Structure 1
Amino acid sequence: MKRKIFLTILIIMMTVPLFSIELNIAHLEFLRDEFSIEGERVIGYWIYSDLKMNGTYQHVSAIGEGATCVDDVARVAIFYLRQLKTDPANNFYDSRAREALNFLFKFQRNDGDFYNFVFENGTINKNGPTSRAGGNWWAARAFWALSLGAEVYAKIDSDYSFSLAARAKKVFRVLKRYIKGNLLKGYTDMSSVMLLGACELQRVDPDEKTFEVIQTLATGLLKSLDNSHGELLGLFDEGKKEFNWHGWGSRQIEALIEAYKVTGNEAYLKAAEKSANKLFPLIVSAGPLYSISRNIKMFPQIAYAAEVFVNSSARLYEVTKEPLYAYYTLLLGAWFKGLNLLKAPMIGPDGQGYDGLEITHRNLNSGAESTISALLALQAVRTLPAEYQVLFEEAKELLTPAFFEEAEKFSLGLSDATIENSNTASGGALVRCQGTTALRKNLSLPGVPYRMYISIPSFDTAMFLTSLRYGKEKIKREINLDHYGLFELGTVNGSAAEERLTIGLDPTNGDVEIDALIFVPLVIGIYFETSNQTLVINNSDKDFKGIEPGRFTFLSGKAVSSEISRRVETNGQVVEVIKEGEYFLIDLSPFYNNNGIVNASHRREGNFDNIQGIVGASYPMEEVQKSISGERLRIDGIPFLFSDKGKDNLRTQKQHFEIDLKAQELWVLGSSDHGDYTGELIIQYKNGQQESFILGFSDWCGKPRYGEKALQFSYRYDSTGNRENLNCKFYLQHIKLKGGEIKAIILPDVITMHIFGITLK
């Protein structure tokens, strides 16, 4: 039904023009494959590819959906069409664009509508909810690709352009039938894609009816910006009954700019700038957030969300020539280069866009959507003048991150409030305030002003009073509750030092739920390491270091004080060593930072795997105790110190333990959460030498992948304390040392890896 298309590396390298930013299409070519669809050979792109243990990738279908789809291949077409537009004589771009467009032809019905998926056996999925016809996402995206194709080929192949335009008009007529209230199916994200297609169609084949639809959809986008969240953070409303916004697919800014270019209506450009000026600082400081509704869902952060902001900013720079938007374009694109929470690249050595960034790790699988989105983002950055592209390649450090603090992690003291588990809360729990409540926590904010927001998913009162104290600053205000979601509390000035934060809440005649507190910097500071300078963008309403509101400049060195930027390696911590026969047992209990083992009477208090919140799944103490004898946890005959009082393991964060003993063997007891992980374990000797090992622990509910011995338990407790019949495990790793007097052990820097004990011999 299909055969693999092989290309030599020479062909791939020939497709990369000599610009400062490389577009590596090797992984995109790996995803490219031949499919036989209803007896006809076409070229598509595998929807998923999973990383194997040996470091290579394998193609994967979407269960129940298919192997490849219109949604992804349309994006491939857009990528190559944009390349072809800048280089019309390039045969490779021409070939790839045509085959992607021709793939779309197979899914267009006689009435112009589109199916989305095809199964690996060549059968089109005509009935699945993510594939059936009906003026859906895939029809809008196909419309965009066909219209762009018609516009690009108008000067290259007029006959082919005419054919593409004819197909675009057919689907356009279908989509028009689904416009309600100035929006396609009532959604601004789908409407923005249709609007982009309509603008391209109008360029190649001007028509009064197309122009009217452009105005209709653009008007719908303008109206959806007129909401409290639009005023706060520049967010377009996706909801129908209550506010909802998501990062993925949010092309509203980009679409409004294209509508402005076609119509000349200044209102569209002003709305795009209004949204961008509020939204871009949040995305730079926090990353491409997943969604904002009754609460903020920060993760997973995905390439599909990051790319839309990069292209939106690039289009703004194109029409305004404002340097600020050029800088936003390179900063938003730098998320792929490591300007993110984990300081890790989200695009691989073969151009693979990784499938997601979580608070603790990256999902290194790499499907079509992620890879194409990464390439579309880099492609947008390459439209900038050379001086910006050079800065894009520099290593960068975010000095002013946004902070998302879960309410349940604050101290409540004697407040009239309770912590309640909630599957809809961002961290798995929230605080219900039924009377006077005080949330307290120490927090270090970099030396810039921060605007503070509170996330309220539910309330049973018309208003509440807040009082905020941070350091010496005090703010009081009254919050009127007329909607769910985010509310502004006020602005505080960071000092780059730890300060006491206290938030008082007093709901009147009812209660209110608090999910999280969000701190967004009003001044963005990005340090460029090679040139030793800081780009400072002042989005506040006051001067900052001589920079006027709404302006930016470069200052020498690290111009924004930040505890993050001052962080240095600490000296090792001395640990107690207990000798038992021929073994040396390391006492890690003073450094435990995770409570992962609970008994039945405390089963709701454990949290092995949810670093964002205070509740999570846990190991069962009743099962673990079966391996305890003589106050030692023994696995495969190896004794470990064990604590059953509170915290019982540590997340590895490069802890540096000083010891003084001679040993030839090392055992480490541990496991990982949210996947299988490896990291560098370093043994330092007194003679100045050191050994480095790759320590690997598999997922606690998975299978041993790194040669570990496993101690298996028959169940675990879930985040609500219920018993789950999942086989969770401890893993034992054995490492042979060269021998000698050991000075220190340095653990990996992998926060998803847990260690319960270390023993030497």
Structure 2
Amino acid sequence: MFRKVFYTFGLIFFVCCSFGCWGEDVKSEPTSPANLSHVLSLVDSVKVDGKNITFVYIYSNYPDYKPAIASGEGVSCVDDVGRMLEVLEHEVLNWGNDSLKFVAKGMTEFLLRMCTEDGLWYNFIYKNGNINKTHQNSIASFGWWAVRGLRGLASAYNIFSHVDEDDTLLENIRAKIFVSQSQWRKRLVSYGKYKNTDIGRIPAWLINDASDVTSELILALTKLYRAGFTEYYDDIRKFSEAIVLTQFRDDCHPLNGMYFCWKNLWHCWGNNQAYALTESFRIIGDASYLSSVKVWADNFVRFVVNEDYPNEIKLFSDSTYVIKDYPDIAYGINSIYRGLKSLYEISNNEEYQSLAERVFGWYKGNNVVGVKMYDEETGRCYDGIDESGVNLNSGAESTIECLLSIYKRGYY
């Protein structure tokens, strides 16, 4: 019912804006570069304890692209709702799409409900709004879905501190950020300490010993800092220092500049270390962050592009490595693209702009199968490329990550 009502309103709004329902003298406003038709078709809501909880379905399968439910998980997750709020932040604040504020509010309520009183986070919900508390990827913890939830709350705070000025909602957001703070600061107690591994020592204050998870927390913290949470300056600095220390450096090795995501592994999905460091640099101004990202761009990114965006790379203590080629997914492409694009914005080095454009080209068909992965007419981004070709499904994550790339570029 929610989707039908939403689309009736949305269609009227779109026609009026596009064709001048209020007279021919209405000046045309800049329009968003992103097509949200598909991702909004995956949006639904449920009433829980008198509140409207809005979510986005995880899966959408070819050929009808209707929402699909995975057995054992649920219909939606913090992982996707958190990132969807970043899409809505762009639409509401940058493109004036106020019609999406009620979607943003419902998704904010979703995230608030998934964060426990001690700052741990659940991930999946069922169709009736109940929380899945037993699935291995939904147990209350502070890891992947927690940091993505915080990314979403940071975007929600930006939205509702600029529009509507809903003091109660803003206070609820601040409260969940504060209790989550107790969890990430437990890691910072180990600042300056290290753990020994087969490939050398790693900072002991990473979130779950993983630089990829930590990088996504930095994305949330830097946004919160710019929104007025200046008390997070040292948190950003310390976590960013940890990211730099996870970089593999060997001028004579083809993987020079790679950031280990976890242990001896790099994976394409969620490799946001470079993007996080550029965002930290804008605040902290530490030249070592920028130097690290330049080594990544000048060496490792070129290797990854030439290898057609491998899914995983394992590096061993004897300097040998193995590559897992597939799947190629938008979550990996967007992570690399935004890191490069931010590096270009800071450095004004056209080589980084050119390299970023080459990476963005993956969406436009510059990939191993020569197929456009984003359809600007429908707003769908396909779920990836594997050994057999293109996965024509189009779930929330793939589409959201592609849309975030488009916002970063400013056009498709």
TM-score, normalised by the number of residues in structure 1: 0.47
Q: Which one of the candidate residues 30, 51, 55 is aligned to 1:44?
A: 55
Partner of 1:75: 83
Letter in 1 for 2:233: F
Structure 1's 202 and 322: CA in aligned 2 closer, same or farther, altered over 3 A?
same
TM-superposed deviation, 1:285: 3.2
Residue 225 (structure 1) aligned with residue 247 (structure 2): yes
Q: Secondary structure at 1:235's aligned position in 2? A: coil
Structure 1's 155 and 3: CA in aligned 2 closer, same or farther, altered over 3 A?
closer
Q: Which one of the candidate residues 178, 181, 184 is aligned to 1:175?
A: 184
Q: Which one of the candidate residues 302, 320, 341 is aligned to 2:329?
A: 302
Letter in 2 for 1:174: Q
What CA distance in whole angstroms lies between the structure 1 residues aligned with 2:379 and 2:69? 21
Query: Which shows bigger deviation, 108-117 or 16-25?
Result: 16-25
Letter in 2 for 1:145: G
- The answer as to whether partners of 1:287 and 1:340 remain within 8 angstroms in 2 is yes
Residue 90 (structure 1) aligned with residue 97 (structure 2): yes
Q: Secondary structure at 1:57's aligned position in 2? A: coil
Partner of 2:199: none
Structure 1's 345 and 101: CA in aligned 2 closer, same or farther, altered over 3 A?
same
Select the structure that is richer in helix: 2
Count of residues paired in the alignment: 376
Q: Which one of the candidate residues 216, 236, 256 is aligned to 2:238?
A: 216
Structure 1's 65 and 21: CA in aligned 2 closer, same or farther, altered over 3 A?
same
Q: What is the root-mean-square deviation in Å for CA atoms of aligned residues?
A: 2.6
Residue 122 (structure 1) aligned with residue 150 (structure 2): no
Residue 363 (structure 1) aligned with residue 387 (structure 2): no
What CA distance in whole angstroms lies between the structure 1 residues aligned with 2:44 and 2:142? 27
Q: Secondary structure at 2:45's aligned position in 1? A: strand
TM-superposed deviation, 1:47: 0.5
Structure 1's 22 and 202: CA in aligned 2 closer, same or farther, altered over 3 A?
closer
Q: Which one of the candidate residues 227, 234, 255 is aligned to 1:204?
A: 227
Q: Secondary structure at 1:177's aligned position in 2? A: helix
Q: Which one of the candidate residues 195, 206, 212 is aligned to 1:189?
A: 212
What CA distance in whole angstroms lies between the structure 2 residues aligned with 1:347 and 1:13? 24
TM-superposed deviation, 1:251: 0.4
Partner of 1:24: 35
Structure 1's 67 and 12: CA in aligned 2 closer, same or farther, altered over 3 A?
farther
Letter in 1 for 2:342: R
What CA distance in whole angstroms lies between the structure 2 residues aligned with 1:155 and 1:161? 11
Structure 1's 352 and 58: CA in aligned 2 closer, same or farther, altered over 3 A?
same
Q: Which one of the candidate residues 102, 114, 133 is aligned to 1:107?
A: 114
TM-superposed deviation, 1:163: 4.0
TM-superposed deviation, 1:375: 0.9
TM-superposed deviation, 1:198: 1.4
Q: How does 1:347-496 map to 2 (within 5 A)?
A: 347-348=374-375, 349-382=377-410
Residue 264 (structure 1) aligned with residue 285 (structure 2): yes
What CA distance in whole angstroms lies between the structure 2 residues aligned with 1:31 and 1:229? 46
TM-superposed deviation, 1:193: 0.6
Residues 667-713 of structure 1: CA deviation (Å, up to 9, x unaligned): xxxxxxxxxxxxxxxxxxxxxxxxxxxxxxxxxxxxxxxxxxxxxxx
Q: Secondary structure at 1:172's aligned position in 2? A: helix
Residue 64 (structure 1) aligned with residue 72 (structure 2): yes
- The answer as to whether partners of 1:287 and 1:335 remain within 8 angstroms in 2 is no
Larger Rg: 1
Structure 1's 356 and 14: CA in aligned 2 closer, same or farther, altered over 3 A?
farther
- The answer as to whether partners of 1:37 and 1:124 remain within 8 angstroms in 2 is no
What CA distance in whole angstroms lies between the structure 2 residues aligned with 1:122 and 1:167? 19
Partner of 1:607: none
What CA distance in whole angstroms lies between the structure 2 residues aligned with 1:286 and 1:310? 16
What CA distance in whole angstroms lies between the structure 1 residues aligned with 2:159 and 2:32? 23
Partner of 1:255: 276
Query: Which shows bigger deviation, 66-75 or 93-102?
Result: 93-102
Residues 139-165 of structure 1: CA deviation (Å, up to 9, x unaligned): 111112212332454343553545433
What CA distance in whole angstroms lies between the structure 2 residues aligned with 1:172 and 1:317? 32
Structure 1's 207 and 377: CA in aligned 2 closer, same or farther, altered over 3 A?
closer
Partner of 1:477: none
Letter in 1 for 2:163: I
Residues 428-455 of structure 1: CA deviation (Å, up to 9, x unaligned): xxxxxxxxxxxxxxxxxxxxxxxxxxxx
Structure 1's 167 and 13: CA in aligned 2 closer, same or farther, altered over 3 A?
farther
Partner of 2:262: 239
- The answer as to whether partners of 1:5 and 1:34 remain within 8 angstroms in 2 is no
